[in-house]
């Protein structure tokens, strides 16, 4: 008895389709693995990061970034609070680095006694909080502020305070929702 064999062109088409499906499946699984291992999703809550990030936007956090280099001034970070709000997660911008002195006077931020330059915000800061006096950061501490300086709970207040290096979970990387605002966050 003779077996029926598909014509050559049909076999090639089936092979190409199978290869395409397998390649697509591999790429999707690889992307999922990369995001799972090196990233995490975080939903912005509140208005403290307006205009950079707004309430209910979803961002991806790069968890691996700070394994290769230290956090830098103006980086947007996700961190776990200690103290009063221990364990609660926040997104804020790094303003002060380890070993520096920070003060807010006359509505402006000074770092090591000099006005902060190239800041994301030039708004007059109404509430200096703890930074009305000079704050000296320890070798493992960062001073963070929300971009909406007059509507942010951040390092100026004892409820958040200075952020320890070990509490930084990663760097804000990409805005993924809503889709019309999709892109890299600066």
The reply to whether the predicted model has a pTM over 0.85 is no
- pLDDT tens, residue by residue, 24-82: 999 998 888 777 777 788 999 999 999 899 999 999 999 988 989 999 999 999 999 98
Q: Active-site residue 155, yes or no?
A: no
State the residue range of the domain holding 178.
42-184
CATH number at residue 62: 2.10.109.10
Tell me if 12 is assigned to some domain. Answer: no
- Predicted local distance difference test score (pLDDT) of residue 2: 61
- pLDDT tens, residue by residue, 94-110: 999 999 999 999 999 99
Tell me if 114 is assigned to some domain. Answer: yes
Q: Active-site residue 48, yes or no?
A: yes
Tell me if 150 is assigned to some domain. Answer: yes
Please state, rounded to an integer, the average pLDDT across all residues of the chain. Answer: 91
Dihedral sign, Cα of residue 20, residue 23, residue 28, residue 31 = negative
Residue 33 half-sphere exposure toward CB, CA atoms < 13 A: 6
Which residue out of 6, 13, 63, 92 is catalytically annotated?
Answer: 92
Tell me if 54 is assigned to some domain. Answer: yes
Q: What is the DSSP string of 46-113?
A: SSTTTTTS-TT-EEEEESSHHHHS---TT-EEEEE--GGGTT-EEEEEEEE-TT-EEEEETTEEEETT
pLDDT exceeds cutoff 60 at 1: no
Which residue out of 48, 65, 152, 155 is catalytically annotated?
Answer: 48
What tokens does 42 get? 């975080």
The DSSP output letter for 179 is: G
Tell me if 20 is assigned to some domain. Answer: no
């Amino acid at each position: 008895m003779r077996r029926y064999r598909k014509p050559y062109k049909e076999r090639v088409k089936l092979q190409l389709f199978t290869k395409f499906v397998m390649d697509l499946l591999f790429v999707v699984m690889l992307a999922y693995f990369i995001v799972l291992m090196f990233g995490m999703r975080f939903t912005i809550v509140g208005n403290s990061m307006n205009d950079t990030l707004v309430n209910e936007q979803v961002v991806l956090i790069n968890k691996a970034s700070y394994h290769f280099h230290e956090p830098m001034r103006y980086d947007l970070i996700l961190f776990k609070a200690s103290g009063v709000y221990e364990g609660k997660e926040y997104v804020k911008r790094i303003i002060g680095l380890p070993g520096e002195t920070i003060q807010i006077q006359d509505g402006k931020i000074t770092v090591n006694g000099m006005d902060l330059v190239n800041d994301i915000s030039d708004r007059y800061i109404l509430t200096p909080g703890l930074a009305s006096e000079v704050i000296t950061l320890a070798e493992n501490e960062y001073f963070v502020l929300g971009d909406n300086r007059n509507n942010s709970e951040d390092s100026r207040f004892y409820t958040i305070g200075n952020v320890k290096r070990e509490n930084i979970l990663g760097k804000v990387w990409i805005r993924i929702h809503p889709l019309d605002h999709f892109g890299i966050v600066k």
